[in-house]
Structure 1
């Protein structure tokens, strides 16, 4: 019996080991470790990759969100529309600025249901937070049309969608600001914590650049109360190496996902669907099943690792008890939380490993 981990990061490292190790040594020997040439070069290369004017390295994805909403002036008594079935960081970025999240149910593609947005817009609504969940782009055409109609900001949470497209345009290039995480498990993951924001707005870029460095543009001249939210030189350098190879890494994930979509044939398993006009970079391959816990136990017994993304929706978490939601308030979000299961999909996954996962799933009764 094979043992298949849910994810393993070392294989991707070994693919480009010499490049990573050379870059790490170059940075260590440079004597410059915070906000130096590697960060500047990565920011330019990442902005070019996304197709925007500006990118800014941040220390992690949560702080990218916090700074984004802060830069937009989102504050107490403001409301931000956000999908209900996201990772809780998407919501924390809103509430850490004092604003109120207004949850929107997901659609059949696991992303925000754009048909429900307008009914939730009030005079307090200031922004839409769009999460490109699991690697698939949301319906950005309708979202941008609604945002323009109601004069709302759009913040893209691209933590899981590095390189995914909608109508040929990349996530991170639609909204006023987009936020990225480079947590090691992400498609463009670094070797520790890391993140970024992207924008075409010079004023917002300058504001976030000030905020990430103690509210300062010039040393010891603090214009406002800011954060220490800087991407370090070592992570920026390593991200530059991975960014160079991201296209081939994405193609590999797409190939594995395509096998799953074609070869997994079990009536008890609902496979993910991709929206017309959208692409997925398959950060996660998330199936749904009515007997999720039993199925997960079966896979575990057959040495196939899985993870639930995410078992507790933000509105039912202890952190957001104060919002006053009850079980049943967002039934689709809650049903998804009870049905979803992420299958193993990682760079360096062998064909033999893929075949074993498919065979085990197809045997499930």
Structure 2
């Protein structure tokens, strides 16, 4: 283990690192030791044992590495925990009142924050090592390190009833990153919970994804359903999606602490105009090349064109606008069964029974999942038998 080689008094390290972090563009920088076990391990075990992680098998596979902040690096002594404000300059829920438009989560409306923050983290880590010695490693969400409880322990904020981090200064809009180091840096005090009796984040959830305060069932969460789930979204949740086509900001956006974020906001991670409220009709026409071009450098690109268009078609089905039906009908011949099945569901919501049945009679289909969507649509009208 590399020890400190700095002549700078140890008691000033935190202030100097914090100043450098702010100069690099971080909004918050605090410190915690990571010697002790933390309650997050027990909460994670309960979450996984209940199967609430759904298809996110990587969470179960790495549960031991998430059980303690030092599990990934036993020689680490301290964590530098950092936050970047991404509070939107517009009302992120306003688009929900525009059913012909798609709602993309605020964090995904700009360039991928993982890459943006990682560059800053690496620059800070290099500066720390050059100034004080020691060894360093950087983490930003992609590694099995529980960053929200680490941020709570360092005092950046607290995990609210919606399980997301809430900050006094920036509400629910913080990207997190951390630098683990072998240096021993004086820790900051943890932040207590300041939610009081407020349940706004729980009450607004369209799918009732919170079985209890401070608990999440990802299998019911729209962010999980639209991003992590690879197959067709269960029929019971489709109407609840509304026009949310990538993620969901409802529980974040209603947090009363966001009013402080509005006062302190500085747009460092700007949203692209094209992704604030894109037209569903245009999104439904994306082939793979156009999808990759539109979402270059965006986290949306990771789910692929087929899953994204699946989400768009569910939104078209929820729009209540028969004028969008031709967009869904055009995709009945799409190479992807996932897309074809979502198109069938959309049409079952937009067409009259006779028109839907006529389409089915004229449409060749052999995929069993798509056939099941056709049959479900026919049965929903009552007057037609499944075929």
Q: TM-score, normalised by structure 2?
A: 0.25
The answer to which structure, 1 or 2, has the higher relative contact order (CA under 8 A, 6+ apart) is 1
Q: TM-score, normalised by structure 1?
A: 0.26
**Counting helix residues as a fraction of each chain, which structure ranks higher?**
2
